């Protein structure tokens, strides 16, 4: 039996989750909480297996619940929120899943299935230990993230920045290219460049950013421009405007 705690300051949201969980086998809702303080107290007292935790609540957010609860057996966490910008931080503390509101029954079922699978594969202790070992990482996400959050429908994916080959601007979006695949991300090129490690990524053009580890060779073209060939055969253009920046990064003049 998965003993589950629902934490959300909105009564209708709690009711919706409780109703959907009622259709799941072996799930028992042991309590509902309206804020972070109630949640921390209930987690310590009830020792639930699974917590469905809203991020934004009055007084303190869902992440602060983790720092204050200190239970003997930290529960598995599923964050539930209307905002996708917390995804990197949620997965940094090893959340079991990250659900966007309005939560559908299919996505909630997937999260519950993950909790069941974890319990079956690792045993009860494995289910409880996942969050506790990384509580000290909460709030330590300062600096540049090592993953990009990719939202596709109801799913939130995390892509390690190190596997990115190159990036192209597409209006108010950027297209992330990696291993023959591509994903659209709602972000400006300038904003994304500021988030990425400058030791690894460099602008080649106003609309192009490349992972230097993917560059195979640089070929002269015309009028101060150069062609940049990646290991997978992709050809990009280095504009005159960004040439000096690349030269400084590589410590060589073209």
- Is residue 174 within 8 A of residue 161, CB to CB? The reply is no
Q: Which domain holds residue 20?
A: 2-137
Q: Which of 137, 168, 200 is the last residue of a domain?
A: 137
Number of structural domains in the chain: 2
Q: Are residues 213 and 111 in the same domain?
A: no
- Is residue 77 within 8 A of residue 127, CB to CB? The reply is no
Give the CATH number for residue 164: 2.40.50.1020
Please indicate, yes or no, whether the overall pTM of this predicted structure exceeds 0.75: no
The span from the CA of 207 to the CA of 241, in Å, is: 12
Q: Are residues 24 and 116 in the same domain?
A: yes
Q: Which of 137, 166, 192 is the last residue of a domain?
A: 137
Indicate whether 40 belongs to any domain: yes
pLDDT at 59: 66
Mean pLDDT, consecutive 10-residue stretches, the chain (254 aa), reads 93 95 94 89 89 81 64 76 75 77 92 82 47 41 68 77 93 91 89 86 94 93 86 93 87 80
Backbone CA torsion sign across 72, 78, 83, 87? positive
16 Cβ contact list (under 8 Å, min separation 6): 102, 103
Q: Which of 137, 169, 196 is the last residue of a domain?
A: 137
Q: Are residues 161 and 114 in the same domain?
A: no
Indicate whether 85 belongs to any domain: yes
Q: Are residues 129 and 160 in the same domain?
A: no
């Amino acid at each position: 039996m998965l003993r589950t705690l629902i934490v959300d300051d909105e009564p209708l949201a709690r009711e919706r989750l409780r109703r959907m969980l009622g259709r799941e086998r072996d799930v028992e809702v042991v309590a509902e909480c309206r804020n972070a303080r109630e949640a921390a107290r209930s987690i310590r007292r009830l020792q639930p297996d699974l917590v469905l935790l809203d991020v934004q609540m009055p007084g303190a957010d869902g992440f602060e619940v983790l720092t204050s609860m200190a239970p003997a057996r930290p529960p598995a966490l599923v964050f539930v929120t209307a905002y996708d910008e917390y995804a990197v931080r949620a997965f940094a503390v090893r959340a079991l899943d990250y659900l966007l509101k309005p939560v559908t029954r299919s996505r909630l079922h997937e999260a519950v299935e993950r909790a069941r699978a974890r319990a079956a594969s690792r045993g009860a202790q494995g289910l409880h230990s996942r969050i506790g070992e990384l509580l000290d990482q909460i709030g330590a996400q300062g600096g540049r993230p090592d993953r990009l959050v990719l939202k596709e429908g109801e799913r939130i994916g995390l892509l390690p920045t190190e596997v990115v080959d190159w990036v192209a601007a597409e209006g108010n979006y950027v297209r992330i290219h990696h291993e023959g695949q591509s994903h659209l991300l709602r972000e400006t090129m300038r904003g994304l460049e500021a988030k990425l490690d400058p030791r690894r990524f460099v602008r080649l053009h106003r609309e192009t950013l490349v992972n230097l580890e993917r560059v195979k060779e640089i070929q002269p073209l015309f009028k101060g421009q150069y062609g940049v060939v990646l290991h997978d055969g992709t050809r990009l253009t280095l504009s005159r405007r960004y040439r000096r920046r690349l030269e400084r990064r590589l410590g060589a003049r073209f």
